[in-house]
């Protein structure tokens, strides 16, 4: 079944008693037992809640996974997955990583004896060369943040499999609609559901899918044990968002391509990073492994003054963190999402004080371009 259909079907099967077409919000902490030693299948909502399970089954279906899991945030999902590792384990990680993930690894998990090496995971040889006897995990962003480098998931998953390393992919920027990382060989896919999956900038949520049933059982043990589960209201909102995932992303991609080409021809813009542009180094790989290029654009303007104009003088486009929603947002990675990375390291990665990031929404592309044009032309 096509993913557009699967997405709409989420939650539809749940309430056979009334035939409700959306899953009910089971706002309950606990469940009555029918008898001694008996259970309806539900005992306590941390361990299992029907609304959350409907979402979990839905994301699993979209990714072709054995099971799915929903957490209270993307960071909670990543934390729960990192609990699969133990003291002394080493992980190889994408270098231009989501800032919050970098902070979690460097300032929290490093205190528990996990070791991390950051490198350009779009270069498989670098990854292979960094493997040590204690390397147990490969943590990759399928499309990096903010510079939109593309990782060859099939090749990385093959390297990981050969060495008995767990291959984990943060596929937030692409979603199962544009890239099915489990089909390409990854063991675990994870998502900040706060972004494209819920899609309306109204929910914080994390999602995980796992291919192997035995590994899924371990992930469930940690989800229930550590307990950062998604509540039923937010599970319901995420399901509602996911039903329109494919049409939102189709429109967002169309808009992103128009805007990227417009930015490329703009004399105030010195560089444009969008994998849908033929000159992007990951363009061919994206075309080969996925179904699209996403709707995130990074671009560098000629002067820091232009940064200020774009952030403050755009009107339709909001100056705000986050991404993936229907509204177009503009961010300044060096001081927002990537503030926790040391300045020298940031500069080295290319996250400088002239770099901006756009999360393109579903508005009319001409209106968005007119908004940018007006901001570029405004008085400082």
Ligand X SMILES: *Cc1c(COP(=O)(O)O)cnc(C)c1O
Binding site for ligand X (CB under 6 A): 73-75, 98, 100-101, 141, 145, 170, 172, 192, 194-195, 204, 206
Is the CB of 24 or the CB of 100 nearer to ligand X? 100
Q: How far is the CB of 42 from ligand X (least distance, A)?
A: 26
Is the CB of 241 or the CB of 375 nearer to ligand X? 241
Q: How far is the CB of 204 from ligand X (least distance, A)?
A: 5
Q: How far is the CB of 131 from ligand X (least distance, A)?
A: 24
What would the two tokens of residue 235 be? 């599970």
Q: Is residue 90 within 8 Å of 116, Cβ to Cβ?
A: yes
Residue listed under structure tokens 């890239």:
179
Q: How far is the CB of 380 from ligand X (least distance, A)?
A: 31
Q: How far is the CB of 192 from ligand X (least distance, A)?
A: 3
**Rounded alpha-carbon distances, angstroms, from residue 137 to 4, 36, 60, 372:** 32, 43, 22, 41
Distance CA 138, CA 227 (A): 24
Please name the residues in contact with 194: beta carbons below 8 A apart, sequence gap of 6 or more: 73, 74, 203, 204, 205, 206, 322, 324
Element (H, E) at 6: helix 3-9
Residue nearest ligand X (C-beta atom)? 74
Is the CB of 74 or the CB of 294 nearer to ligand X? 74
* Residue closest to 300 by CA, chosen among 270, 329, 255: 270
Q: How far is the CB of 94 from ligand X (least distance, A)?
A: 10
**Rounded alpha-carbon distances, angstroms, from residue 248 to 4, 40, 160, 178, 196:** 11, 37, 33, 12, 9
Is the CB of 75 or the CB of 237 nearer to ligand X? 75
Query: Which CB contacts under 8 angstroms, 24+ apart, belong to 210-218?
Result: 210/65, 210/66, 210/67, 210/68, 210/69, 211/64, 211/65, 211/66, 211/182, 211/186, 211/187, 212/66, 212/187, 213/66, 213/67, 215/187, 215/188, 216/65, 216/66, 216/67, 218/84
The alpha carbon of 204 is separated from its chain's Cα centroid by a whole number of angstroms, namely 12
Positions annotated as catalytic residues are 46, 98, 170, 195
Is the CB of 31 or the CB of 196 nearer to ligand X? 196
Is the CB of 101 or the CB of 201 nearer to ligand X? 101
Distance CA 236, CA 246 (A): 18
């Amino acid at each position: 079944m096509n993913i557009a259909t699967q997405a709409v079907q989420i939650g539809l099967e749940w309430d056979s008693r009334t035939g409700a077409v959306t899953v009910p919000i089971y706002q309950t902490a606990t469940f009555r037992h029918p008898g001694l030693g008996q259970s309806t299948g539900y005992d306590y909502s941390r361990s299992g809640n029907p609304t959350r399970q409907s979402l979990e089954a839905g994301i699993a279906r979209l990714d072709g996974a054995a099971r799915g899991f929903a957490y209270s945030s993307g960071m909670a999902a990543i934390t729960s997955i990192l609990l699969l590792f133990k003291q002394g384990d080493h992980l190889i990680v994408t270098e231009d990583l989501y800032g919050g993930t970098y902070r979690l690894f460097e300032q929290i998990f490093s205190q528990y004896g996990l070791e991390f090496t950051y490198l350009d995971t779009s270069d498989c040889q670098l990854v292979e060369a960094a493997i040590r006897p204690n390397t147990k995990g490969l943590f990759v962003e399928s499309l990096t943040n903010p510079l939109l480098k593309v990782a060859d998931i099939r090749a990385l998953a093959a390297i990981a499999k050969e060495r008995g390393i767990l291959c984990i992919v943060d596929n937030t920027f692409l979603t199962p609609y544009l890239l099915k990382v489990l089909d390409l060989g990854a063991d675990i896919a994870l998502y900040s559901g706060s972004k494209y999956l819920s899609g309306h900038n109204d929910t914080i949520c994390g999602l995980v899918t796992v291919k192997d049933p035995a590994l899924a059982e371990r992930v469930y043990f940690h989800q229930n044990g550590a307990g950062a589960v998604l509540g039923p209201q937010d599970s319901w909102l995420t399901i509602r968002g996911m039903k329109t995932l494919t049409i939102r992303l189709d429109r967002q991609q169309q808009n992103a391509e128009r805007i990227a080409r417009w930015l490329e021809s703009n004399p105030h813009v010195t560089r444009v990073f969008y994998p849908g542009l033929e000159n992007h180094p990951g363009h061919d790989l994206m075309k080969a492994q996925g179904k699209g290029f996403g709707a995130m654009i990074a671009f560098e303007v000629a002067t820091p003054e232009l940064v200020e104009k774009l952030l403050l003088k755009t009107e339709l486009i909001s100056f705000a963190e986050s991404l993936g929603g229907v509204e177009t947002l503009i961010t300044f990675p060096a001081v927002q999402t990537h503030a926790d990375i040391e300045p020298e390291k940031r500069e080295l990665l290319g996250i400088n004080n002239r770099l901006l990031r756009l999360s393109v929404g579903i508005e009319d592309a001409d209106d968005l371009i007119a908004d940018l044009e007006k901001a570029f032309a405004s008085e400082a």
